[in-house]
């Protein structure tokens, strides 16, 4: 790491494995794990990455390293709105009864 807190991104091949070293834009910060296994992500990082309560993360662990990767989930309401808009354009109409019937059939399986 350079004295100004930057690490340059580069790929490194070691024992036939490919590693990515990521550029860090600020000095590392220290956090502590609670008795329940909870870790507080520093506020400056939460702001920079737009992390909000209930965000989901992928967690990778190897040796003495833990990596959290923010998981971007699609907005289901927007996805359904898009589907219904496409159906309206094609004049495909499904009644509530038809939807309930399909749900019951799937739940029986």
pLDDT tens profile 97-108: 888 898 898 898
For Cα atoms 46, 49, 8, give the angle at the middle one, nearest 5 degrees.
115
Q: Which helix (H) or strand (E) holds 91?
A: none
pTM of the full structure: 0.48
* 83 contacts 92 by C-beta, under 8 angstroms: no
Handedness of CA 42, 48, 49, 53 (dihedral sign): positive
pLDDT in tens, 52-90: 999 999 999 888 888 888 888 888 888 888 888 887 787
The separation between CA 12 and the C-alpha centre of its own chain, rounded to angstroms, equals: 25
Q: Where are the domains of the chain?
A: 76-108
Strands (E) located in the chain:
10-14, 17-21, 56-62, 65-71
């Amino acid at each position: 790491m350079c004295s100004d807190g930057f690490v340059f991104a580069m790929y490194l091949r070691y024992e036939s494995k490919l590693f990515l070293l990521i550029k860090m834009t600020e000095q590392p910060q220290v956090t502590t794990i609670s008795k329940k296994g909870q870790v507080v992500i520093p506020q400056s990082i939460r702001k920079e990455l737009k992390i909000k309560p209930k965000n989901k993360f992928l967690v990778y662990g190897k040796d003495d390293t833990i990596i959290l990767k923010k998981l971007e989930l699609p907005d289901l309401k927007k996805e359904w709105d898009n589907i219904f808009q496409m159906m309206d354009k094609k004049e495909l109409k499904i009644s509530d009864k038809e939807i309930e019937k399909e749900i019951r059939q799937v739940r029986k399986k």
